[in-house]
Every structure is written in structure tokens, then in C-alpha cells.
Amino acid sequence: MHPRLRDDLADLPGLLHEAREHATRFLAGLGERPVGPPPGPREPVALPERGAGARGALEVFERRWAAGFSGGAGPRYLGFVVGGSTPAALAGDWLTAAYDQNADSGVDSSVADLEREAVGWLRDLFGLPGAHEGAFVSGATMSNATGLAIGREWVGERRGVSVADQGLAALGPVRVLSGTPHSSIGKALSMLGLGRAALRRVGVLPGREAVDVQSLEAALRELDGEPAIVVANAGTVNTVDYDDLRAIAALRERYPFWLHVDAAFGAFAALSPGHAHLVDGLGEADSICLDLHKWLNVPYDSAAQFTRRRDLQARVFQNSAAYLGSLGDRPDFLHLTPENSRRLRALAAWFTLAAYGREGHAEIVRRDIALAARLGERLAAMPAYRLLAPVRLNVVCFTLADAPERAAEVARSVAESGEAFVTTTEYAGVPALRAAFSNWRTTEADVDRAAKALERAAG
């Protein structure tokens, strides 16, 4: 054994203790460290020949890298849609690495059953029907891609071909319809060979990002009975708008389409009694995307995908080989997801759900919704800003009242203050800012600090 490895093995408890001390220091300072330090250029150094040992690596990491890491897990990081890690999720994630299980199958371990239990808990949490079966994937993009891959196979079934066996050439073009799709849908279509151009944007309701169901119906009618894929959106990234899922699902009585719902973070509305109606009909979908490293507050990377057609899913993703075992009635996860070998990312989700249950996670969601509303009220009262949309859930979409073109400068200035972090976007052609609340740590005091930083940045 290499002497560095031998020494580290002998010192493993001490080493883990040091890593824990480091993590504890980092987490204790999370609320006060600069939220989003501007990424300075970091020059790579040469690969070490002998290596520094794990303690040495930790020391180099602290010196060269740690200070440049963002406060993304902290309470005033309001950019994109970023969650933190609950204490239990963090513990679960550490153990994921310690146990280092390959969650591809249940041949040699109980991990597959743990993942099934966690999937079942998520199904319960979001009120999905039992017909939906799920699996963990790395993020919402991969969840969308998985759902659309199953949808692609369904279109093949309708046309009498198996895309999994015969390939895309046998399938021919497929129309994908959506009102305000997340950019990851285009990426997924590119990966799946359906092509970004397959995506046809359908009209939205006036002043909204929600699809106009009549326009959707007209687009489906035009297809003249050709099977299609509809991507419905439950929580758009700019204004958290929701398509009418029930009305869209009802269209399947007249038109053949696969209904995929991107509910990456919007699904969490189900945990707030005042907002659950927004996801009414979610369970009617054929496939669903749920992100977990956002509002479930588990560490990156983690998401879930659900579908009613596990048979088609297994057709797409099966990885049969004599040494891996057969599919059977209850396929292992390597037959259901894009990866074969995969980490047990279900464990962090399992830990946080076991630790805080439905009530604990509902509290996080309700609090974040209230905090977004609070920031919305603050900004609406400032002459420098105007809201671009009502605060429907956990995202505030706003701009400078008289100078929207300053949005990027304001975002930079807020980041440089170290007090908060918001990201830029464009909404209805207007340069804008977004503040998204999905962290379990955020409090009213954090909103007040973020509001002050925004007020100062506007000048």
C-alpha cells in the first residue's frame, strides 16, 4: 500500500474528525460569510506526484479553494432556485459516502429497497397516486430527460415501433408542445435526438406564463391524430406560474399525447394548504419531474422522476447482461435510469424525511413562501423597484422601476456587498432580477437584510 494511504488508514478517525471540524466551522459561519463571492480566476497547479496525504489535501483545499466557494447553502442566497442541506440530509449524505454503496441493484445490498421506500415517501408527500413509480436521478434536467425518453417510447408504441430497439429513424419526427418550458427541456430533447426544434411553444394566458389551454388544444388538433408530447409546467422559473394540469390532462380524452409535467420545485406547493390547488391534477401526468436539491434541501445532486409506465421505462433504460441479472417483475434501478452505477442519493432524502417528516418539510415550504411574500412587499414599497409579476409562491421577479437595464449591475453590486445573492433574468422582454426562496435556514431577519442590500444597490 502506498505510504500515504497506509498513514491515512491508520489515522482515519482523526482525519474524519478534522474534516468534521472544517465542515462545522464552515457551517457555523455560513450565515455571515460573503454570500456569493465573485469568482476570481484560479490557476490550476500541476498534479502532485507523491501527494500530501488527506490532512495535507485538506490544508491545501482550505488555503486555495474554500474561501472562493459560494454561500449557496446559506440563508440569503436567493439566486436561481437553490436549497441548502438540512442537518439530517447532510448526515445522510456523509453516510452515503462512508457506505459507498452502488445503488444500481439489490443483488448484494438492501439499498434498492431503501430507495423504493424513499420514493414511496415522496409519492406520499406530493399526493401522487400509487400507479406512479419513481427513481432517483441527478437533477431536474435528468428527470425531465428520463420522462421525455419514456414519452418518446410511448409515441413509438402508438406508431408501432420501439425507439429503444429501432432507433429514432424508425420513429420519425415528434412534436413537443409547451407554454413556458424550462431551458432543460430543450437540452433533454437535444440529448434524446428529438431535437430542440421539435419543441413548439404554445400561447400563454395574457400577462402570464401559464399555457392557454385553448391554444394548446388548437395545436393538438392541428396534429390530426398524430401522437405528441405535452410538457406542462408546474412552477415556471421566473414567476412560478402553473399550467392548469387538470384541464390539460382532460385533453387526452380527445387527443393522443404523453403528458410530462416539469414540477421541479413547483410540486412543493402541495405542502402548503393555501397553494396545494396549484398542483391539482399533478398525479394525472404520465411522467413527472421533481427536484430534491432545491426545496427538499438535500445536498447536490438529487432529483426524482415518476411515471405510470414503468414497462416503457424499462424498455428504454434496461441494461441486460448475464452478469447483471434479469429484469424480472421488479427491475433494479440500473434498468430504469440513465446511469448504471450510481450513488445512493436516496439516503440523504430518506434521512431528511425520516427526521422531519411531512410536517417539518411543510414548515420549510410555508415559511419560504411567506418570506418571498415579505420581500415582495418590501420591494413593492421601494420607489426604486417594481414587481414584474405577483409573488405566487417562492420567487420574486422584479426590476428597477425606471432603469431595468441596470438589473445586472444591481445583481453584481448586491453580490459584492456579500449580504445576499440574486440572479438576473429577462421577463416579457424586460431585464429583471429574481430572488428565490428555497432554503430551510432563511428567516425574516434574512429577508430584511436582503431587502436593505437591494435598496442600497439601487442607489
Please identify which residue in the block is written with the cell numbers 491545501: 60
User: In this complex, which beta carbon is closest to ligand PLP, that of residue 152 or of residue 182?
Assistant: 182
What would the x/- binding string for ligand PLP be over residues 26 to 65, using CB under 6 A? ----------------------------------------
Helix, strand, coil shares of the chain as percentages rounded to 5?
50, 15, 40
Across the strands, what pairs with 325?
A: 321
HSE toward the beta carbon, residue 139, CA cutoff 13 A = 11
How many binding residues for ligand PLP (CB under 6 A)? Answer: 14
User: In this complex, which beta carbon is closest to ligand PLP, that of residue 54 or of residue 198?
Assistant: 198
Which of 265, 306, 427, 440 contacts ligand PLP by CB under 6 A?
265
User: In this complex, which beta carbon is closest to ligand PLP, that of residue 139 or of residue 404?
Assistant: 139
Q: Is-contact 258 295, C-beta < 8 A?
A: no
What would the x/- binding string for ligand PLP be over residues 181 to 200, using CB under 6 A? -x-x----------------
Site for ligand PLP in 123-162 (CB under 6 A): 139-141
Between CA 377 and CA 90 the distance in angstroms is 33
Between CA 338 and CA 193 the distance in angstroms is 15
Nearest-approach distance from CB 1 to ligand PLP, in angstroms: 39
Between CA 39 and CA 416 the distance in angstroms is 11
Which residues have CB under 8 Å from 428's CB, separation 6+? Answer: 388
What would the x/- binding string for ligand PLP be over residues 344 to 373, using CB under 6 A? ------------------------------
Q: Which of 113, 92, 115, 87 is nearest to 27 (CA)?
A: 87
Q: Which amino acid is at 385?
A: Y
Between CA 241 and CA 259 the distance in angstroms is 18
User: In this complex, which beta carbon is closest to ligand PLP, that of residue 71 or of residue 235?
Assistant: 235
Please identify which residue in the block is written with the cell numbers 409546467: 233
User: In this complex, which beta carbon is closest to ligand PLP, that of residue 81 or of residue 161?
Assistant: 81
User: In this complex, which beta carbon is closest to ligand PLP, that of residue 264 or of residue 388?
Assistant: 264
81 binds ligand PLP (CB under 6 A): yes
Binding site for ligand PLP (CB under 6 A): 80-81, 139-141, 182, 184, 235, 237, 262, 264-265, 291, 303
